Amino acid sequence: MSDVVLRVLVADDSPVARNLLKGILDADRNLQVVGEAKNGAEAVEMVRRLKPDVVTMDVQMPGMDGLQATEEIMVASPTPIVVVSSTITLNDAEKSMDCIRAAGALAAICKPASPQSNDFIQSARLLVETVKSMASVKVIKRIRRDVRQSIAPVVPQASTREEVLAIAASTGGPYALDRILSALPADFPLPILVVQHISAGFTDGFVSSLQHGVSLNVKVASDGERLCTGTVYVGPETHHLGANKSRIQLLDVPPIGGFRPSATALFESVASAFRDSAIAVILTGMGEDGVEGLRSLRQAGGHIIAQDKESSVVFGMPGAAIDAGVVNTVLPLDAIANYLVARVKQQA
């Protein structure tokens, strides 16, 4: 086992919650809680002073809350942040996803259950594993004012009229999806299918958060509903997301590679149904989910776009797809929406 000890700052207004998190984290030989903040302002100051490897951030705190603290930390002292939400109300889940989508946090999970609960061991293990994995992510400094680059890449001529857009992402995905979807017009002529790896209980909050600033209709996908242009269908955490030529298909089968919904399941589905009339985008994320599905889609003639290394929070998924030789086009994040708009416009 590695002897590296990761230094953790815990931010939570509840003394009980702080003690619980500290006890779980300090029990692991590779983790050490080096500070406890009871509000967002303290968290910002302690990150600057203590320089932890990772922060666990509560959402609802007095004064400066978790969202505001995350924004300030990512501007002043960029540090991997894991949002640890106490309850999964829609409001908490949405605010947790705002921390990721807009402010720069990397992941959101539920607070571990009490030690008396049957779920304690499992939820404590999830906390430890998430903190460790997110601590390895190299985060970048954010700017206070959102500035979108205007990039207009050359767009190759499509040989077939494209009918669907499928997108998959993991770590860093909510931010990347927000950048792309908010730049697409309300009359974008393709239905959009999205798989985002996310912790259980956060899908509704993710969809609600993503809807801010997006002119498209964003919703959790329902089995059998008709595919409509101008609509983003987000895969639920209980099923794999797929589609036939006209309707959503939710697949109640086991996780693929540990993921449900799985990017590979999505891409295999659109490869089967749409073949060369599908566009796929593989975004930032850990691991290799999606590569085998993209292989099927490439063989069927679909067009595949990968986010580049420089703009990816984690280059695992797009990097694996590029290495596998299944990608047609590699683009920086802020060029993808322009590319998509220009590509489908030429088919009108």
- For residue 130, the domain's CATH number is 3.40.50.2300
Terminal-residue alpha carbon distance, the chain: 57
Q: What is the mean pLDDT of residues 46-54?
A: 98
What's the Cα-to-Cα distance from 82 to each of 67, 99, 173, 213, 307, rounded to whole Å? 12, 9, 14, 24, 23
In this predicted structure, what is the pLDDT of residue 92?
85
Would 101 be classed as within a structural domain? yes
Query: What is the Cα–Cα distance from 144 to 74, expressed in whole angstroms?
Result: 9
Task: Looking at 38-106, list the stretches that DSSP marks H as alpha helix, in order from N- to C-terminal side.
Answer: 40-50, 66-76, 90-98
Q: Is the pLDDT of residue 348 over 80?
A: no
Q: Answer yes or no: is pLDDT of 50 > 50.
A: yes
197 is known as an active-site residue: yes
pTM of the predicted model, to two decimals?
0.89
Q: Are residues 72 and 111 in the same domain?
A: yes
pLDDT above 60 for 147:
no
Res. 82: pLDDT tops 60: yes
Least confident of 7-16, 157-166, 247-256: 157-166
For residues 75-104, average pLDDT: 89
- Active-site option among 170, 208, 209, 311: 170
Q: Assign 282 to helix, strand or coil.
A: strand
What tens digit of pLDDT does each residue of 263-304 get?
999 999 999 999 999 999 999 999 999 999 999 999 999 999
- State the average pLDDT for the chain: 92
Q: Are residues 108 and 227 in the same domain?
A: no
Pair (128, 173) in one structural domain: no
Residues 196, 238, single domain; the answer is: yes
Task: Please indicate, yes or no, whether residues 68 and 114 belong to a single structural domain of this protein.
Answer: yes
Mean pLDDT of all residues in 86-94 = 79
Q: What is the pLDDT of residues 304-344, one digit of tens each?
A: 999 999 999 999 999 999 999 999 999 999 999 999 999 98
Single residue among 117, 135, 153 that ends a domain in this structure = 135
pLDDT of residue 142: 76
Q: Which residue in this structure is represented by tokens 């430890």?
A: 128
Q: For position 1, what pLDDT does the model report? A: 46
| 83 and 169 fall within a common domain | no
Residues 116 and 185 in one domain: no
Q: Read off the pLDDT of each residue in 190-196 and give the average, rounded to a whole number.
A: 98
More confident residue, 71 or 347: 71
Task: From the candidates 58, 92, 178, 289, give the one annotated as an active-site residue.
Answer: 289
| Same-domain check for residues 61 and 117 | yes
Q: Are 127 and 109 in contact (CB under 8 A)?
A: yes
Q: What is the pLDDT of residue 273?
A: 97
| pLDDT > 50? residue 35 | yes
> At which of 93, 119, 135 does a domain end?
135
**Identified catalytic residue from 13, 77, 92, 197:** 197
Closest by Cα among 341, 283, 202, 209 to 267: 283
What CATH number is associated with residue 325?
A: 3.40.50.180
**Residue 170 annotated to the active site:** yes
Q: Which amino acid is at 170?
A: S
Task: Flag whether 291 is in a domain.
Answer: yes
> Is residue 258 over pLDDT 50?
yes
Same-domain check for residues 182 and 316: yes
Range of the domain at 217: 164-345
Active site residue 289: yes
Domain membership flag for residue 62: yes
User: How many domains would you assign to the chain?
Assistant: 2
Percent of the chain whose pLDDT exceeds 90: 83
Give the residue-averaged pLDDT of 65-91: 91
